[in-house]
Amino acid sequence: MSIEKGREITISVLKFNPRSKVSKPHFVDYKLEETPGMTLFIALMKIREEYDPDLSFDFVCRAGICGSCGMVINGKPALACRTLIANYPTGVLQLMPMPAFELIKDLSVNTGKWMDSMSKRVESWIVDNGEENDITKLEERIDPDVADATFELDRCIECGICVASCGTKLMRPDFVGAVGLNRVARFEVDPHDKRTAEDFYELIGDDDGIFGCMSLLACEDHCPKHLPLQNKIAYLRRKLVALK
């Protein structure tokens, strides 16, 4: 019985090591055979195992959960582990690291460092009114609809794809991005957080926050978790502009 061969695909990768004095940005093409159900993650693992052990890229979960594998695929930021090669009819995929983040090497960028500073900037934690918690009391009940709305916004995996897609972020290096504004929206809806609209205005009421977004929509178009980013940004903007 003859085994049918898969089509030949080309994965073209921008390679660069910013810490090396001799490294210059350049594309390297890898040709390999497509296998059934092949994701970009599988293709990159094959390249690293069989052709180029020096190729750098990030992965943890392989299931669209950890947010590590964002990269620019044929011009659009996406998760490599959720990218099916079969969806690319030409069989040619050009890969670049996501912009807006510190480049570590090749396709690997430091999203964690950026997320950490954004989290501090938007004070991404529950702020209560300082009262001591009485652990002998029953937990406060929350309306299921409010809990659902909070969990919905908590689905963000901090992949950075909305930031890499964002025209405003490229113009304003300190813009908190859709991920940062989504974080504020998450705490604004959570009744455990006692901050007022004025408090949130202090955090994001400027052009690096809610008033910087130009509504280009690429964040929502590319978010792998399909979060309602533009809705939430519009809601926050309407609420905070009324305070002016």
DSSP string, 64-131: SSS---EEEETTEEEEGGG-BGGG-TT-EEEEEPPTTSEEEETTEEEHHHHHHHHHHHTT-S----SP
Distance CA 19, CA 83 (A): 29
Query: Is residue 184 a contact point for ligand FES (CB under 6 A)?
Result: no
Distance CA 39, CA 87 (A): 10
Query: Is residue 79 a contact point for ligand FES (CB under 6 A)?
Result: yes
Beta bridge partners of 13: 28, 95
Between 47 and 229, whose beta carbon lies closer to ligand SF4? 229
What is the nearest approach in angstroms of ligand FES to the Cβ of residue 60? 5
Helix (H) or strand (E) holding 9: strand 8-15
Distance CA 149, CA 57 (A): 34
- Residue 184, token pair as written in the block: 């504020």
Q: Give the number of residues in contact with ligand FES, rule: CB under 6 A.
A: 12
Which residues in the 165-184 window bind ligand SF4 by CB under 6 A?
178-179, 182
Using the rule CB under 6 A, give the single segment among 54-62, 139-147, 163-171, 176-184 that binds ligand FES. Answer: 54-62
Query: Is residue 45 a contact point for ligand FES (CB under 6 A)?
Result: no
Residue 41's contacts (CB-CB under 8 Å, 6 or more residues apart) are 59, 62, 69, 80, 81, 83
What is the nearest approach in angstroms of ligand SF4 to the Cβ of residue 64? 9
Between 68 and 168, whose beta carbon lies closer to ligand FES? 68
Residue 108's contacts (CB-CB under 8 Å, 6 or more residues apart) are 56, 57, 58, 97
Single residue of 60, 84, 142, 170 touching ligand FES by CB under 6 A = 60
Using the rule CB under 6 A, give the single segment among 7-15, 93-101, 201-209, 221-229 that binds ligand SF4. Answer: 221-229
What is the nearest approach in angstroms of ligand SF4 to the Cβ of residue 67? 6
Single residue of 13, 55, 81, 161 touching ligand FES by CB under 6 A = 81
CB count in 10 Å sphere of residue 61: 14
DSSP string, 125-182: S----SPPP-TTSPPPP--HHHHHHHHHHTT-----HHHHT-HHHHH-TT--HHHHHH
Query: Is residue 86 a contact point for ligand FES (CB under 6 A)?
Result: no
Which residues in the 180-209 window bind ligand SF4 by CB under 6 A?
182
Query: Is residue 66 a contact point for ligand FES (CB under 6 A)?
Result: yes
Between 32 and 72, whose beta carbon lies closer to ligand SF4? 72
Residue 66 binding: pick among ligand SF4, ligand FES, none (C-beta 5-8 Å cut-off by kind): ligand FES
Q: Please give the residue ranges that form the binding site for ligand FES (CB under 6 A).
A: 59-62, 64-69, 79, 81
Q: Please give the residue ranges that form the binding site for ligand SF4 (CB under 6 A).
A: 156-162, 178-179, 182, 223-225, 227, 229
